[in-house]
Structure 1
């Protein structure tokens, strides 16, 4: 399977990522001009995992982010439905599980936190996946999602959507083992909701205190939220808000 379609058939998406697993981390660094490292660092800070906590890193790919979370002393497991990605990261010494985000193989309230970095936009039903994440996180636990978003500076937003996303597949020809896959990835970036729209999806999935932080001028956004601790009927109806300032990286 060279690329998936925007219907995001799970089998096609898994096969596509199997095909790009070799050299995936290197390709990401080249395509993002090294910003991927800074974005992972901000994800780690916002997640704020602590020694003794249990963290699920979903859509973890080669587990490069899982290792960084585990360095905090938390017990972290990498989960992904692409066996090729997990096998490529086999040298990274963290637990790994092949898992479907829609049907996670974990008991209710198993984790203190769950995080997804640049993976949720590849899910067939992001809202359903967020509900499933809430199931496996304990009451009061948290979710952190790092994903592409909408640049806040209007002129750059125009250039980004009109030109940069169109040349992404061309650049990938020089660094990726499967350039066709980057046509899908560019299309998925172009159609992904903006910060507020995604925040509303997180809230509809049952999370509360939803907020986001823009990175690199909104090119990427970090969304965070907590699982309610009380009666669902009394859950706050507060709308998601941008509670933090833009960050330069």
Structure 2
């Protein structure tokens, strides 16, 4: 499978990521000019995992972010539905689980926090995935989403949407094991909701205190939320 379609069929998306697993981390660094490291650092800060907490890193890919979260002393598990990506990170010393974001293999209220970086837009039902994340997080637990977004400066937004996203597949020809996949990735970035619209989806999925922070001029945004406590018995 060279690339998935914008219907985001789970099997096609998984096969596509299997195809880009080789050299995936290097490709990300090249195509983001190294900003991927800075975005991971901000995600780590906002997540603020504590020693002894349990953290689910969903759509974790090769687990590069999971290792950074685990450095806090939290117990962190990398979950992804691409076996190729998980195998690509087999050398990283964190537990790894093959998992479908819409049917997570975890009990209710299992984690103190859940995070997903640059994976939410690849789920074929964003709101359902966010509800499933809420199911496995304890009341009062945290959600942190790092995802592409809409640049806030209008002239740059025009250049980004009309030109930069077209260049990504061309660059991928030189650095990726599956360049065709980056046509899908560019298209999914172009059609992804902006900061406020995504925040509304997060809130509809049952998270409260939803807020977001722009990174790199809004090219990327961090969204966070909290799982509400259950209502007290009457």
Which range, TM-score by smaller chain? over 0.9
In structure 1, C-alpha distance between the alignment counterparts of 2:5 and 2:231, rounded to whole Å:
40
1:216 and 2:219 correspond: no
Q: Which residue of structure 1 aligns with residue 206 of structure 2?
A: 206
Q: Which runs of 5+ in 2 are unaligned?
A: none
In structure 2, C-alpha distance between the alignment counterparts of 1:221 and 1:44, rounded to whole Å:
14
Cα RMSD after superposing both structures: 0.7
In structure 2, C-alpha distance between the alignment counterparts of 1:97 and 1:207, rounded to whole Å:
24
Shift of 1:230: 3.4
Q: Which residue of structure 1 aligns with residue 85 of structure 2?
A: 85
Trace 1:173-192 onto structure 2 (pairs within 5 A).
173-192=173-192
Q: Which residue of structure 1 aligns with residue 73 of structure 2?
A: 73
TM superposition score normalised by structure 1: 0.93
In structure 1, C-alpha distance between the alignment counterparts of 2:165 and 2:144, rounded to whole Å:
25
In structure 1, C-alpha distance between the alignment counterparts of 2:230 and 2:71, rounded to whole Å:
32
Q: Which residue of structure 1 aligns with residue 197 of structure 2?
A: 197
Trace 1:13-24 onto structure 2 (pairs within 5 A).
13-24=13-24
Q: Which residue of structure 2 aligns with residue 162 of structure 1?
A: 162
Q: Which residue of structure 2 aligns with residue 131 of structure 1?
A: 131
In structure 2, C-alpha distance between the alignment counterparts of 1:190 and 1:154, rounded to whole Å:
15
In structure 2, C-alpha distance between the alignment counterparts of 1:46 and 1:151, rounded to whole Å:
20
Shift of 1:121: 0.2
Shift of 1:212: 0.2
In structure 2, C-alpha distance between the alignment counterparts of 1:51 and 1:63, rounded to whole Å:
19
In structure 1, C-alpha distance between the alignment counterparts of 2:170 and 2:22, rounded to whole Å:
19
Q: Which runs of 5+ in 1 are unaligned?
A: 233-249
After the TM superposition, list the runs of 4 or more consecutive aligned residues in structure 1 that deviate by more than 2 angstroms.
none
Shift of 1:231: 2.1
Trace 1:27-46 onto structure 2 (pairs within 5 A).
27-46=27-46
In structure 1, C-alpha distance between the alignment counterparts of 2:38 and 2:127, rounded to whole Å:
27
The SS at the match of 1:139 is: strand
1:231 and 2:223 correspond: no
Q: Which residue of structure 2 aligns with residue 238 of structure 1?
A: none
